[in-house]
Amino acid sequence: MTQTVISSASREVVIGFETPFTVIGERINPTGRALLAEELKAGDFSCVEADALAQVAAGATMLDVNVGVPLTDEAALMAQAVTLLQSLTDVPLAIDSSVPEALEAGLEAYRGKALLNSVTGEEERLEMVLPLVRKHGAAVVAICNDDTGISPDIDVRFEVARKIIERAADHGIPASDVVVDPLAMPVGAMPGAGVQALELIHRLRTELKVNTTCGASNVSFGLPNRAGLNPTFLAMAIGAGLTSAITNPLEPTLMQAVRGADVIMDHDAQCQAWIRAHRAPAARDGRRRGRRRSRG
Amino acid sequence: MTEEYDDIILADLSDEELIEQMYDDLYDGLADEVAEGTQILLDRGWEAKRILDEVLVAGMTIVGVDFRDGILFVPEVLMAANSMKAGMELLRPILADTGAKPIGKMVIGTVKGDIHDIGKNLVGMMMEGAGFEVVDLGINVEAETFAAALIEHRPDILGMSALLTTTMPYMQVVIDTLTERGLRDDFTVLVGGAPLNEEFSQAIGADAYCRDAAVAVETARRFVEGTA
């Protein structure tokens, strides 16, 4: 079964078909967050620090790092952010940028095996990003669009994924180090986008046998109660075969959906994580105070 | 489903009642009803331009305000825009014959290197809803293509969209191209997209940054009315 191993200096995370779902915290991203953008521009990382710690505490097992602020030196910011985050937490990082120099700077500063976010099927991107992935022994997120755009036809998106995986192989990158993003488009603006994403996830898993990830909050764009819709999509996507998501672990309903899906998918042995998270508080003060030593 | 109310016969309504009903039908995205109402007004001798301004655009303005205020959501706005289109199809040939001018014209596109178009399409639809004529150049649009379209269509507004930090600097390339050709001051340049902000818009010499589709429409209106 396919496993994508991502690591920091001291910790490994396995994205895989038989392991608990991987939540990659999305909060360290200045898009749509004016305060974070202002801080980053001024070289102030206090918000980044707080976001990192809060997301890890909430259950993120990886963190996505995007420091794309207009009119800044994104490469320098990325290197600083990566170094800082690795001194704060041992969860592995996804280095996220559309600027190749920033990806490279992030990889150079990184200790461990990073997830590079991302490459697309666009010719220029493939030849810019894949050599970086190979050089640094990283894994990479592959987004299912190419030079012609994001196809509404999932057969086309499937073929883009296949092309990226083949091209990665040409560069010496195994398919197990390619995590495909099927692109979950907004259902409010594109009727059918939800069920299409589910179908594509299923095909990626059963036919290409790759790990998958997606930005799960895009689905609810333009709709009310997004915090209600996103967990629903995520649970269904996990059922279809999704193995990780770049999403917001600070949303309690979302983490609950992930934990619940782990139980249903049999990725939570004896439901232990679920029980730990939901045992009635009174029971904690009862008899089960600590582990009993075995006799003998 | 049981009907609780008798069907409203649009043709039995006075002009005033009919217009109120058409505002509701636009709001509810009822394309057939909007088309029917439009035809009735034409049959009653209303000028196409007057129907467009006082009924369809006025109705879509209500939709736009409620979208801006978070009362209506994207699928509802798309349905409303579609129902307006149903009315417009009846009016368009007449408007063309009589040489009636739209309130403004916009050329819009997603810049080179960028393939995101949901936001751009939403802006285009809302602008049409506001009575603008919209020329959509699609995605991955080169500066040369923008320049050629501006010369050909002579719009009031150029709208550019970008969703990536790598592609948004291309807006600067487009604006510089226009400046070199001495075209820059002929158009109002509006920019939008998730990674942008006001500061970036100023830095590249655009006229305004528009946070969302509703703001884009309001901003475009202010510019063509000369109140910006």
The pLDDT value given to residue A280? 77
Residues A86-109 have pLDDT tens digits of: 999 999 999 999 899 999 999 999
pLDDT band at A176 (very low <50, low <70, confident <90, very high): very high
The Cα–Cα gap between A13 and A92 comes to 7
Decide if pLDDT at A296 tops 50.
no
pLDDT of A283 > 60? The answer is: no
pLDDT at B187 (0 to 100): 94
* Cα(A204)–Cα(A184) distance, integer angstroms: 14
CA distance B120 to A163: 28
Buried b (16+ CB within 10 A) or exposed e, B86-98: bbbebbeeebeee
Per-residue pLDDT of chain B (228 residues; tens, 9 = 90+): 455 666 889 999 999 999 999 999 999 999 999 999 999 999 999 999 999 999 999 999 999 999 989 999 999 999 999 999 999 999 999 998 988 888 899 999 999 988 888 899 999 999 998 899 999 999 999 999 999 999 999 999 999 999 988 889 999 999 999 999 999 999 999 999 988 989 999 999 999 999 989 899 999 999 999 877
Q: Which residue, chain included where needed, has tokens 């191209």? A: B177
SS3 state at A29 = coil
Q: Are A279 and A266 in contact (CB under 8 A)?
A: no
- Rounded CA-CA distance A115/A136 in Å is 10
**Using CA atoms, how far apart are residues A2 and A209, in angstroms rounded to an integer?**
7
Q: Provide, as residue numbers in chain B, all residues whose Cβ is less than 8 Å from the Cβ of A98.
A: 164-167
Q: What is the pLDDT of residue A32?
A: 81
The tokens describing B192, both together, are 């939008």
CB A176 within 8 A of CB A209: no
Domains contained in chain A, number? 1
| Nearest chain B residue to A72, by CA | B165
The residue of chain A with its CA nearest to that of B70 is: A224
Neighbours of A249 (CB within 10 A): 23
CB contact under 8 A, A222 and B194: no
Average pLDDT, chain A: 92
Mutation target among A71, A101, A124, A145 for the B interface, most CBs of B within 10 A: A71
pLDDT digits (tens, 9 = 90+) for A10-35: 999 999 999 999 999 999 999 888 89
Contacts of A99 in chain B (CB under 8 A): 165-166
Q: If residue A95 lies in a helix (H) or strand (E), which one and from where to where?
A: strand A93-96
Q: What's the pLDDT at A294?
A: 55
pLDDT in tens, A200-230: 999 999 999 999 999 888 899 999 999 999 9
Per-residue pLDDT, averaged over A51-58, amounts to 97
- Torsions phi, psi for B166 (to 5 deg): -80, -25
Cα distances (angstroms) measured from residue A194 to each of A25, A185, A234, A237, A240? 22, 7, 10, 9, 12
Asked if A32's CB is within 8 angstroms of B74's CB, the reply is no
Distances (CA, A) of B228 to A220, B188, B199, B220, B225: 33, 11, 18, 9, 8
The order of strands in the sheet holding A62-65 is: A211-212, A178-181, A139-143, A115-120, A93-96, A62-65, A22-28, A244-247
- The enclosing domain of A188 has a CATH number of 3.20.20.20
- Give the burial class of A99: count Cβ atoms within 10 A of its Cβ; 0-12 exposed, 13-18 middle, 19 or more buried: middle
Which residue of chain B has the CA closest to A125? B113
- Taking CB atoms within 8 Å and a gap of at least 24, the contacts of A286-292 are none
End-to-end CA distance of chain A: give it in Å, rounded: 40
Are B200 and A224 a contacting pair at CB < 8 A? no
Q: Name the interface residues of B facing A (CB cutoff 8 Å).
A: 70, 73-75, 78, 115-118, 121-122, 139-140, 164-168, 194-197, 199-200, 203
Which structural domain range is residue A56 located in? 3-295
Contact between chains at A34 and B122 (C-beta distance less than 8 A): no
pLDDT for A241: 97
Burial of B226 (0-12, 13-18, 19+ CB in 10 A): exposed
In our burial notation (b when 16+ CB lie closer than 10 A, e otherwise), range A273-293 reads bbeeeeeeeeeeeeeeeeeee
C-alpha–C-alpha distance, residues B107 and A236, integer Å? 40
Distance CA B228, CA B219 (A): 7
The answer to whether residue A37 neighbours chain B at the CB level (below 8 Å) is yes
Per the document, the length of chain A is: 296
CB nearest B200 (choices: A70, A186, A190): A70
* For chain A, percent of residues with pLDDT exceeding 90: 82
Amino acid A216: pLDDT: 84
**ipTM reported for the complex, 2 dp:** 0.76
pLDDT band at A1 (very low <50, low <70, confident <90, very high): confident
pTM equals: 0.84
Considering only CA atoms, give the Rg of chain B.
19
> What tokens appear for B7 in the block?
């069907």
Q: For position B4, what pLDDT does the model report?
A: 60
Closest CA to A53 of A214, A215, A250: A250
What would the two tokens of residue A137 be?
A: 């022994």
Bridge partner residues of A139 (DSSP)? A115
* DSSP string for B139-157: SSB-HHHHHHHHHHH--SE
- Within chain B, where are the H helices? 15-27, 31-43, 48-51, 58-68, 74-98, 118-129, 143-153, 170-180, 198-203, 213-224
> Per mean pLDDT, which range of A42-56, A157-171, A276-290, B135-149 is the poorest?
A276-290
Q: What is the distance between the alpha carbons of residues A263 and A273, in angstroms, rounded to a whole number?
A: 8
Neighbours of A129 (CB within 10 A): 27
Q: Which residues contact B14 (CB under 8 A, 6 or more apart)?
A: none
pLDDT, position A64: 98
Judging contacts by C-beta atoms under 8 Å, the chain B residues touching residue A96 are none
Contact B118 A224 (CB under 8 A): no
User: What pLDDT sits at residue A288?
Assistant: 52
Instruction: Provide, as residue numbers in chain A, all residues whose Cβ is less than 8 Å from the Cβ of B115.
Output: 145, 148-150
Query: CA of B113: which chain A residue's CA is closest?
Result: A147
3-class DSSP state of A1:
coil
The answer to whether residue A119 neighbours chain B at the CB level (below 8 Å) is: no
Q: Name the residue of chain A whose CA is nearest to B119's CA.
A: A189
pLDDT at A282: 61
Q: Assign B118 to helix, strand or coil.
A: helix
